[in-house]
Amino acid sequence: MKIIVGLGNPGRKYAATLHNLGFRVADELARRWSLRFQENWRVKADVAEGVIAGQAALVIKPLTFMNLSGHAVAELVRNRELGPDDLLVITDDVNLPIGRLRIRPQGSHGGHNGLRSIIERLGHQEFARLRIGIQPTWEVEDLVEFVLSKLPPLEQGQLAEMIGLAADAAEAWIREGSAETADKINGLRRFESEP
């Protein structure tokens, strides 16, 4: 079984913010594969179970807020007795330009509190992560305020396209694994305006 975790914050207040791109990709995967989310209060997450790209899969949206995402993830991983190759975490990344995706089989949290929580709760960083670029093209004084904001219309359109491409990448990860998927998407420049 594969577990795909989309990171975000629960509630309408955060639904359309940059920090909720992981949730939006999870929603897109569920839509494509006709999966339904159900609240699982034992693990504190919305969980959808079914088949994606020919494999049994869980799609998870932790309901603990970003900084405590590891609680739900660690509980599900341990209960299912899954290995490092069975977990993919999808999140935003302020260090990647808008229009970029990057997948890696493992790595540090890179300053992202959701990834930090998962690493702490699992006790290791050996799981795949798919990052969606949200790097601002203007000077930002408050990074927290930025990630909890909505983008101007042009960038919103770009991110909507990136959500679809990230869902494609998650499906490729299920079929082919991290290395093959990385060969296809890492370094790809999606938008002409990107420097």
Catalytic residue positions? 19
Quick one: the chain helix, strand, coil %, rounded to 5? Answer: 40, 25, 35
Q: Reduced to 3 states, what is the DSSP secondary structure of residue 128?
A: strand
Phi, psi of 56 (to 5 degrees): -60, 135
Contact call for residues 52 and 174 (beta carbons, < 8 A):
yes
Contact call for residues 123 and 98 (beta carbons, < 8 A):
no
Q: Angle, nearest 10°, between helix axes 113-122 and 70-80?
A: 40
